[in-house]
Amino acid sequence: MKLTFLGTGAGVPSKERNVSAILLDLLQERGTTWLFDCGESTQHQILHTTIKPRKVENIFITHLHGDHIYGLPGFLSSRSFQDGTTPVTIYGPKGIEHFVRTSLEISETHLRYPLYFKEVNEGMILEDSDFIVYAKKLEHGIPCYGYRIEQKDKPGELLANKLQAMGISPGPIYQQIKENETTILPNGQVIQRTDVLGADKEGNIITILGDTRYNESLIDFVKNSDVLVHEATFAKDEKVLAHDYFHATTEQAAYIANQANVKQLLLTHISSRYSGDKSEQLQTEAATIFSNVEVANDFFEYEVKK
C-alpha cells in the first residue's frame, strides 16, 4: 500500500508543483489503484511514473474547485486509449457527475468502459471485503470532503507447527483450514480456524483531507490514522489569511495530527509563495508540534505500513 503525490500545489500549477492529485496504490491488496482528486495535467504527471491508468478503479473528488477536477475529463478519455476497459466509479460532491458527463458529451468522447457516480454525503460511502471508506464534510466555502480509508483486519498466519503437532501434514488441507471457520478432516477430526491461526493482521488507516479551514471536529475523524494527508497552504504566521480563504496553516495541521494520535503527517496543497528552500520552513514549523511530518513534493512516495 503506497501513496504517490502527483500534484501538491495550491490553486494554480507552478514550476515546482502541479495541482492536486494523489494515487493510492492497492495493487498488492486488490490489484487496483484509487485516485484522490485529479487536477489539471494529472495524466501528464502519471507519464513520469509507473502508474497504469487502466488500474484505477475508484476516483474520490474532495470538491469542485478547478485545481482538483480540471484534469478529470482528459484522464478518463486517455484511460480508454490505454487499454482501460474495467469500470470506474467516481465519488464526489453534488455536481461532479454533471461536470464530467457534460465535458465528455461536448467533446464527443466515448469511453470503452462503464462510468459510475456516487454523490458523497457524510458517513460511510463504500464498504467491500477489504475496505471501508468514510466521508467527512470540511470547512471550505463550497461542499468539500475528507476521506478516511480503513483497511479491514486480515486473518493471521496459519500456525503450521501447531497443525503438524496435531498430526496434520502440509498440503491443500492447510489452505482449506485457513479459508473456513470449521474444517472436518476425513478421519472426523474437527479443526476450528481460530485455534490454528496467529493474531489478526491489523489493517491500515489512511485519511486524506481536501481543502479546509482549521476545525477541531476533524480530530475524531482522523483519530489513530496511520497516515494523515492534510493541506498546509500557508505558514503559521498567515493564520488570518488562511481563515479568510478557507485554508489551514502548518501548525494547525500539526495540531490536528498531534491531538488525533496520528502516526505520520504528510502536508500538501502548498502555496507557490513557498518555493525552493522555503518549503523547509513549513516542515520545521509543523515539526515543533508533531515530529513525524513531511512536506510532500510532486512524485513523493510514502509506503503505508504498521
Catalytically active residues, by annotation = 67
Question: Sign (positive/negative) of CA torsion 271, 273, 277, 280?
Answer: negative
What is d(CA 201, CA 1) in angstroms, rounded to the nearest whole number?
A: 14
Angle at 213 between CA 75 and CA 284, to 5 degrees: 90
What is d(CA 286, CA 247) in angstroms, rounded to the nearest whole number?
A: 15
Strands 205-208, 227-231: pairing is parallel
What is d(CA 113, CA 86) in angstroms, rounded to the nearest whole number?
A: 6
Helix 72-81 and helix 96-106: axis angle, to 10°? 60
- 2 exposure class (CB count in 10 Å sphere: 0-12, 13-18, 19+): middle
Instruction: Please give the C-alpha separations between residue 280 and each of 6, 241, 286, in angstroms, as whole numbers.
Output: 19, 20, 10
Contact in structure between 58 and 126 (CB atoms under 8 Å): yes
Contact in structure between 250 and 279 (CB atoms under 8 Å): no
**236: DSSP letter:** G
